[in-house]
Amino acid sequence: MTKSFLLAAISLLLIAQNVVAQKVGIQPSILEYHLAPGTTESQVIRIANMSDKKISFEAYLADWLRDSTGAHEYFKPDTLPSSCAKWVSLSKNFIEVEPGKTEELLVRLQGPPDLNAFKQMRWAMLFLQSASEKDSATRNSKQFNTKIKELLRVGIHIYQTPPSITHAEAKGIALKEVPAEKNSYDFYMANTGETMLECKVHMELTNVETGKEYKLDRTEFPVFPASKRKVRLIIPDTVPKGKYSALAILDTGEESALEAVEKAIEVK
């Protein structure tokens, strides 16, 4: 499965959601593992068919990253240093679900005994993509092949965080005005810890003339360890024009200190 194919399939997912997503339930969307060296854990994906026709899915793995804007980038499995794809085995690669029924897919993660493999968080993506069975003999052969209809593709996040990996830390870097976009600012931050962070950022504005304060809505986003993120913050029209002291505040959880970046701005 090439990166170009995976990227192309993203647009197909948007179409699929309007057509069949309401008739198919796939849970959960995230599998979190906390394996120590040499241990194994299995988790279950449940696929519910609420339509009146049999549906089929092909299951396959991929590596992936988030870029600085949060968009996903996909790669062949077991090609990134952060990958745990080769640790994953599936109970089956082709799933058929009869109308009104639910099928289970067992996702087994087996950690190697090598201690060096547990010095960092690892992750992968499990895709379930709608497919039509070509024939049983072909499906069961070593040269497995299906005719892909490309109606629906769902990504299930697989995260493996060793129990010894606990250090969570982030740094606010800068708040920069976005050229040619009215009252828009990009907040830059970096995950300087070892774990994935679930971040929240918001702006607090203080009018330098009146002292009146405005607290804006927060934006939430995840960031992998050793990754940077740029988040667009937009000041709404409800904030009066004028000069302000702006404070972008980054919250990464109760166990971590808040990070803040201050900047003098003008709301236009």
Please state, in angstroms and rounded to a whole number, the distance separating the CA atoms of residues 250 and 92.
Answer: 42
| CB proximity list for 257: less than 8 A, separation 6 or greater | none
Inform me whether the pLDDT recorded for 47 exceeds 70.
Answer: yes
Q: Say what the pLDDT of residue 151 is.
A: 66
Average pLDDT of the chain? Answer: 88
Map tokens 């990464």 to a residue: 252
Q: How many percent of the chain have pLDDT more than 70? A: 84
Domains and CATH numbers, the chain: 3-160 (2.60.40.10), 170-267 (2.60.40.10)
Question: Taking residues 117-128, what's their average pLDDT?
Answer: 97
Does the N-terminal peptide bond of residue 28 adopt cis geometry, omega within 30 degrees of 0? Answer: yes
Q: Say what the pLDDT of residue 21 is.
A: 53
- Maximum Cα–Cα distance across the chain: 77
Question: Taking residues 131-141, what's their average pLDDT?
Answer: 52
* Residue 219 CB-density burial (10 A; 0-12 exposed, 13-18 middle, 19+ buried): middle
Question: Taking residues 32-54, what's their average pLDDT?
Answer: 96
DSSP state letter for 137:
H
> Of 57-66, 195-204, 251-260, where does mean pLDDT reach its minimum?
251-260
Inform me whether the pLDDT recorded for 16 exceeds 80.
Answer: no
Q: What is the pLDDT of residues 214-223, one digit of tens each?
A: 999 999 999 9
Please state, in angstroms and rounded to a whole number, the distance separating the CA atoms of residues 163 and 166.
Answer: 7
**Phi first, then psi: what are they for 253, rounded to 5°?**
125, 165
Question: Taking residues 109-126, what's their average pLDDT?
Answer: 97
The token duo for 196 is 């994935």
